[in-house]
Amino acid sequence: MKKISALLMLICAALLLCACTGEKPAAEEAAPIVIGFSQLGSESSWRIGNTKDMTEAAERAGITMMLKDGRQKQENQIAAIREFIAHRVDVIVFSPIVEDGWDNVLREAKQAGIPVLLIDRIIQTTDDSLYAGCIGADFYLEGRNAGEYLLKKADAMGAKELHVVEITGTEDSTPMRQRMKGFHSVVDGDSRIVTLESVNGDFLRSRGRECMEYLLKKYDGEIDVVYSHNDSMTLGAIEALEAAGVKPGQDVIIITVDGEQAAIDLLKEGKINCVVECTPMLGDEVMRLCTKLAGGEKIVKLTHPVEQVFTDFDDLTQIGPRGY
């Protein structure tokens, strides 16, 4: 009995010491942050670069990231978000393929107490409390930058009239809507710029080529400018132009958005005239914001990275490797 009493006294003393010093048993140490990331797909070098950057940034930050590829379908992304909710992740991050149709699943996340961070694209909702914040490019400004370059080019050429065809991104996506709106807010007020047609290329290289083939057939010899909403579609369009015997960058002005390595290389070769940057390198900032959200902190509603415009008016030798 004396031995048992002494043992109990030792246990009590150890527990009291832990309480006094504030030390926690190892089992109670803070678990690593877990985020669920629904990427919309892998349709372009930009998207692949973004996924790679997110993965590497999570590793640097010591954050566990569950990654799901939506394969260009909203229903796949909704299923992924529900899976993240079931796993009780700390933060849900996703790049929405379209703007509408997210309210129901995001209400489920809100009811589960899981904050949501949008990356690259925004959504349309009547309840802004369904997401904590968004980090991504200013697509409207990108469109304006493309339009302002075209007016500068028209001035330099002394052009009296330029016929434009526009290859847009996925219908109803944020970049498609905003890049179109920004571009036309600049050029539509200039009588020299005439838009012949806007066609949907869905951000895909194959569709970019198909769209350009259609436009060349319909507007044979009339096209002066191609404004494409991303580099993948631009690369496809250039294939179609060259197959038709049209010299991109010379016979036709080429304006593109993203800034991937392939587009910058063609800019240096003179086959593209203007590249508006849209950086996919958002990972470190996403992890910083996720750490705040996991800790119960609020974040700013909208964060834009600083981006550039590269054109045939610039010293292109100063452009370093793009990384995507």
Which residues fall within 8 angstroms of residue 315, CB to CB, at 6 or more apart? none
Decide: 87 and 64 in contact? Cβ < 8 Å.
no
Predicted confidence at residue 31, as pLDDT, reads: 80
Predicted confidence at residue 29, as pLDDT, reads: 58
Look at residue 298 and tell me whether its pLDDT is greater than 90.
yes
DSSP conformation class of 16? H
pLDDT digits (tens, 9 = 90+) for 23-76: 444 444 568 999 999 999 998 999 999 999 999 999 999 999 999 999 999 999
Predicted confidence at residue 8, as pLDDT, reads: 41
Q: How confident is the model at residue 120 (pLDDT cuts 50, 70, 90)?
A: very high
Decide: 249 and 221 in contact? Cβ < 8 Å.
no
Predicted confidence at residue 230, as pLDDT, reads: 98
Residue whose C-alpha is closest to residue 50's, from 269, 251, 203: 203
Q: Are strands 274-277 and 309-311 parallel, antiparallel or unpaired?
A: antiparallel
**Count of other CB atoms within 10 angstroms of residue 246:** 17
Tell me the C-alpha distance between 82 and 31, whole Å.
22
pLDDT digits (tens, 9 = 90+) for 250-287: 999 999 999 999 999 999 999 999 999 999 999 999 99
Look at residue 14 and tell me whether its pLDDT is greater than 60.
no
Mean pLDDT of 191-214: 98
Look at residue 99 and tell me whether its pLDDT is greater than 60.
yes
Mean pLDDT of 159-180: 97
Look at residue 18 and tell me whether its pLDDT is greater than 90.
no
Predicted confidence at residue 30, as pLDDT, reads: 66
Mean pLDDT of 219-248: 98
pTM of the model: 0.87
C-alpha distance from residue 96 to each of 81, 144, 206, 268 (Å): 11, 23, 22, 33
Predicted confidence at residue 117, as pLDDT, reads: 98
Q: Tell how far CA 26 is from the center of its chain.
A: 39
Handedness of CA 123, 71, 231, 195 (dihedral sign): negative
Q: How confident is the model at residue 323 (pLDDT cuts 50, 70, 90)?
A: very high
Transcribe 87-128 into DSSP letters: TT-SEEEE--SSSSS-HHHHHHHHHTT--EEEES-----S-G
Q: How confident is the model at residue 245 (pLDDT cuts 50, 70, 90)?
A: very high
Look at residue 7 and tell me whether its pLDDT is greater than 50.
no
Decide: 189 and 147 in contact? Cβ < 8 Å.
no
Residue 311 sits at φ, ψ, to 5 deg, of: -140, 170
Residue whose C-alpha is closest to residue 286's, from 59, 31, 29: 59
Q: How confident is the model at residue 124 (pLDDT cuts 50, 70, 90)?
A: very high
DSSP conformation class of 301? S
Look at residue 114 and tell me whether its pLDDT is greater than 70.
yes
Calculate what percentage of the chain has a pLDDT beyond 90.
90
Tell me the average pLDDT of the chain.
Answer: 92
Please list the residues that pair with 93 across neighbouring strands.
37, 117
Residue 254 sits at φ, ψ, to 5 deg, of: -115, 120
